[in-house]
Amino acid sequence: MAEQLAAAAAAALGPLLKAYWALAAGSVIATLLPVPLPRAFKDAVTLAACRGKLWHSKPDALGPLRDWSVPQSWFLHFYLLGAACNAATLAAFACCGAAGAAAAAGGAAAGRAALALALFQFHLLRRAAETAFIMRYPRDARMHGIAYLFGLSYYAAVPLSLLPDGWLRSLPHALAAPTGAAACVDGWRAEAGELLKQGPAVAALAGTGAATFLLGNALQFASHLALARLAGDAQRRSEKTAYRIPRGALFELVSCPHYLAEIIIYCGLALAAGGSANTLLMLVWVSVNLVLAAGATQAWYRARFKTYPEKRRALVPYVY
């Protein structure tokens, strides 16, 4: 009976992840477009996206829950939880792959998933270190409690979304298979070998994804470093606000190059993972959510600073 329940749960996991990403992306798309939905719904979605500088201009929504917030510095929790979940998923995938469960994913799909998980682990550790040691969040920088809870679920869902559907369906068998350090090493070798055996086209796609991913990480790190320096300068000068007009590099073209970098990062992940349905839905959600956040950030800068550069776009140079 327990095995049947586990099998049913594993079979439902793939569709549940797709529904998770589709509902998350759909709510933001409905907020961005002139879809005839109640204003309260759109304001609630917008409120959930408000954090940091946007918190004090948040819409009136959710009634008594409007002001439920946590420190923006709690972003660190996302990356710590994500790193733990992703590391566990990565280890299980390699070990169970050696026992034959990952073979259900089919050839290069197992290798692509292992690559995507390894890349994502790098991103999570980088963001955790960056948030803990580089970023400078003002004391009044907050984010909504709903956004915090969603963020926790998000970083638990991403590692599972990088796995092939075939492996998700075989999860009960995979977890029941004997594992060990030697089996994990064998699993990594098998997955890497499967990826390399698929020929130059598949290898080139995976390599392009990895390169795109690393480019996005470099751009995001440079952008966050610039923002941290701005906040640090303001604190040293005892200025009333830590927010100033960012200057230099890609900030001369867009208000939110760190958001653009995030989209590039997830484009790279989707390519490295072979463009599965879950990774594409995840990319859609990341993109539309950051379009919403970048538009609100651009509006805030223009309202706050009368000398804000008129030609500077919100997210994509020369376009939006």
- pLDDT of 73: 96
Structural domain boundaries of the chain?
A: 1-304
Tell me which residue of 4, 161, 178, 212 sits closest to 92, measured CA to CA.
Answer: 178
Between 99 and 26, where is the model more confident? 26
Residue count of the chain: 320
Instruction: Specify whether the backbone of 63 is left (phi greater than 0), alpha (psi in -120 to 50) or beta.
Output: left
Output the average pLDDT for the chain. 86
DSSP strand E in the chain: where? 69-71, 142-144
Query: Does residue 102 register a pLDDT over 70?
Result: no
Picking from 121-130, 135-144, 251-260, which range would have the lowest pLDDT averaged per residue? 135-144
Query: Does residue 262 register a pLDDT over 90?
Result: yes
- pLDDT of 46: 95
Sign (positive or negative) of CA dihedral 269, 73, 20, 12: positive
Distance CA 120, CA 29 (A): 25
DSSP class per residue in 130-180: HHHHT----TT-EEEHHHHHHHHHHHHHHHHHTS-HHHHHTHHHHHHS---
Chain segment 32-55, per-residue pLDDT in tens: 999 999 999 999 999 999 999 999
Chain segment 189-218, per-residue pLDDT in tens: 555 555 556 667 777 888 999 999 999 999
Query: Does residue 269 register a pLDDT over 90?
Result: yes
Tell me 70's DSSP state.
E
- pLDDT of 139: 84
156-171 average pLDDT score:
82
Chain segment 281-293, per-residue pLDDT in tens: 999 999 999 999 9
Residue 131 pLDDT class (50, 70, 90 cuts): very high
Chain segment 172-185, per-residue pLDDT in tens: 655 555 555 555 55
From residue 295, give the alpha-carbon distance in Å to each of 46, 114, 155, 292, 298. Answer: 11, 35, 24, 5, 5
150-156 average pLDDT score:
98
Query: Does residue 138 register a pLDDT over 70?
Result: yes
Tokens of 311: 């030609």
Query: Does residue 264 register a pLDDT over 50?
Result: yes
- pLDDT of 186: 57
Residue 101 pLDDT class (50, 70, 90 cuts): very low
Query: Does residue 242 register a pLDDT over 70?
Result: no
What is the value of pTM for the model shown? 0.90
What percentage of the chain's residues is helix, strand, coil (to nearest 5)? 75, 5, 25
CB atoms under 10 Å from CB of 173, counted, come to 17
Chain segment 41-92, per-residue pLDDT in tens: 999 999 999 999 999 889 999 999 999 999 999 999 999 999 999 999 888 8
